[in-house]
Structure 1
Amino acid sequence: MPELGRNVPEIEWVNTMKTIKGPAIFLAQFADDEAPFNSFASICRWAADLGFKGVQVPSWDSRLIDLRLAAESLDYCDELNGLAAEQGVQITELSTHLQGQLVAVHPAYDETFDGFAPPEVRGNPKARANWAADQLMLAAKASCNLGLSAHATFSGALAWPYIYPWPQRPAGLIETAFDELAKRWRPILDAFDNAGVDLCYEIHPGEDLHDGASFEMFLDRVEQHPRCNILFDPSHFVLQSIDYLAFMDIYRDRIKMVHVKDAEFNPNGRMGAYGGYQSWVERAGRFRSLGDGQVDFKGIFAKLAAMDFDGWAVLEWECCLKHPEVGAREGAAFIGDHIIQVTDRAFDDFADAGSDEAMNRKMLGIGG
């Protein structure tokens, strides 16, 4: 320790780290026609009673939000924010997962994904894609009106049926698919840029953006667009056997949203990553409630703290075994226990001997 009375310049340790906000919960898996899940106010109160501080809102669910009105009316957005605050939570982000999926749909999935669209555009892929793009444009304005900084979506997929290279893919097939994907998304990304909101693609099997390599292919084609970012959900990396902690290091500057979801992967002599066409219960890889799977959340939350992530830790509940309301209740406590309150001082401040430039030069033997 420095001697008392020694003339040492006072050096203040400046903390630049940020504490993650949370816990929050994605409402998509809970919205229902039965109370308390059938209105925005009541589902917010339910979430707050479980200990959640924020709610992520699925923009396609009219029981919770009128997306077009939110894009057009600041008064309506103020009302929504006020309603959430009255119940003890705040809106963290909006989601357009279902609409984003429809921006790009391979014909093999036309009938399957038609159910995500309103009746007037079903059976018409071009009209459906235009409707989806318009929904994203509305979401950009609505997010801005709500004072939000990030938005969750899916990329959709044109190349997904060709994920496995058999039969051999024709030369240029994947490049053409990604060129078209970027063409469709570029005006949407520009709209989010104008709104001051990050557009975060959930890296997810079934989407053309399903891992780091595919995200980079897309990012290159949208010219490193500043609003082209990532919703990080480690569960989808477990099922693909991707090192999700290394992924966080590589893409730390693009990770703007986080879904906290658990998963397990237990390959055996009968099946692996592809799952053998089995149900979720029988698959080698399956989603689990928080704490019941294999995800290293201590490692994830440590990296989020170190990389100055100041967004929300949002529970996305999906589990083939546990009841959703049990998973939600346990999940709030689980996230709360894992959020790291970052330090406001260096742990070795007690040993600070102080310094100045002259001392530093003397200690290095480089003179005056």
Structure 2
Amino acid sequence: MKGPAIFLAQFVDDSPPFNTLDGLAGWAAGHGYAGVQMPTKDAAIFDLEKAAESQAYCDDIRARLDKHGLVVTELSTHLQGQLVAVHPAYDLMFDAFAPPEVRGKPEARQAWAVEQLKLAAKASRHLGLDAHATFSGALAWPYMYPWPQRPNGLVEEAFAELGRRWKPILDAFEEAGVDLAYEIHPGEDLHDGITFERFLEAVGNHPRASILYDPSHFVLQALDYLAFIDIYHARIRAFHVKDAEFNPTGRSGVYGGYQGWVERPGRFRSPGDGQVDFAAIFSKLAQYNYEGWAVVEWECALKDPEQGASEGAPFILSHMIKRSERMFDDFAASQSDKATNRKLLGLKP
């Protein structure tokens, strides 16, 4: 495992040092981070089109980060990925993720999003990355709770269409040699293990269809986030270190009663402030030889972002596990060969 790193999306701002890549890099390095997960929506920070077209531009990005002791861990197209599949109920809200020229034009907006993902595949290759972070988008999410009863075949058709939209994008990532890691996230059609399996089936078990593992989203769904690693570890290619807590009451539970983040029973917290057992998570990821980055995604209902960022790097470092090259009881090992083993078992040579 590599780390610590931080996702920059929540920190980009109009004021220094958060309005330039060099400013953000100096700030992240000052907090002890070794890597940054890079958002791709703001060309002033990272120009996705240039990165896809120009190896020289990507070399310059790497050189600028290297001056601060940083590398890019993954590029992120969360906002663009969301627009690959949008149910009409969300058109107006998600239009803000798109450039003005395609707002109010769902088909043009989707085509723009698909092109953005394909650009991200090329940019990732130019940067020498092996994983990319995104969202799946959602067609079936408004029908998540089955009332009235869902018509037969509705979910199947939604995932078939999702597969049709993402298959060419996954093929572009295959050509680039980069894994496409979907953040498993409520609000997306890929929001738990079952929906990820549905998607895998829809894209022919595509080798590049991977997972960005974020346990906070599983806490809020009351899903076993440790068993999830046991089941899907072979597909986990990215990791958000984000905490959460779920404290249901007699008045509100998983759905939150339309309350704000501070008041709802399930809310995101800074690493170490919630209920996620990160010691167990880091142990399981080490057990399965996860070789990607541990990336803080700061989203907390209470804590100031600067405090959260400053605490994130040492939190990751305190949990990272270097795999031992020998077993603790090797000192007591005895010489063995086939004859000795048969003798120990009471068998004839």
Give the TM-score of the pair, scaled to structure 1: 0.94
Distance 1:311 1:342 in 2: 14
Question: What does 1:1-368 correspond to in 2, within 5 Å?
Answer: 20-368=1-349
Superposed CA offset, 1:227-251 (max 9, x none):
0010000000000000000011010
**Matched residue type, 1:359:** T
Determine the structure 2 residue equivalent to 1:11. none
1:58/1:95 contact within 8 Å kept: yes
SS of alignment partner, residue 166 of structure 1: coil
Superposed CA offset, 1:156-210 (max 9, x none):
0000000000011111111111000000000000000110000000000000000
Distance 2:293 2:210 in 1: 15
**Matched residue type, 1:55:** V
Question: Which segment is superposed worse, 105-114 or 341-350?
Answer: 341-350
Deviation at 1:361, TM superposition (A): 3.0
Identical aligned residues as a percent: 66
1:45/1:88 contact within 8 Å kept: no
**Matched residue type, 1:41:** D
Deviation at 1:356, TM superposition (A): 2.0
Deviation at 1:364, TM superposition (A): 3.1
1:101/1:154 contact within 8 Å kept: yes
Distance 2:18 2:2 in 1: 24
Distance 2:62 2:28 in 1: 15
Deviation at 1:344, TM superposition (A): 2.0
**Matched residue type, 1:54:** G
Greater length-normalized contact order (CA 8 Å, ≥ 6 residues apart): 1
Superposed CA offset, 1:321-363 (max 9, x none):
1110100001111111111122122111110112123322332
Deviation at 1:62, TM superposition (A): 1.6
Distance 2:309 2:162 in 1: 35
Distance 2:119 2:345 in 1: 60
SS of alignment partner, residue 325 of structure 1: helix
1:234/1:262 contact within 8 Å kept: yes
Determine the structure 2 residue equivalent to 1:10. none
Counting matched residue pairs gives 349
Superposed CA offset, 1:266-301 (max 9, x none):
000110000000001110100001111000000000
Question: Which segment is superposed worse, 351-360 or 255-264?
Answer: 351-360
SS of alignment partner, residue 233 of structure 2: coil
Distance 2:302 2:131 in 1: 31
1:41/1:83 contact within 8 Å kept: yes
Distance 1:365 1:64 in 2: 70
Gaps of 5+ in 1: 1-19
SS of alignment partner, residue 155 of structure 1: coil
Deviation at 1:366, TM superposition (A): 4.1
Gaps of 5+ in 2: none
Deviation at 1:97, TM superposition (A): 0.1
Distance 1:167 1:36 in 2: 50
Determine the structure 2 residue equivalent to 1:14. none
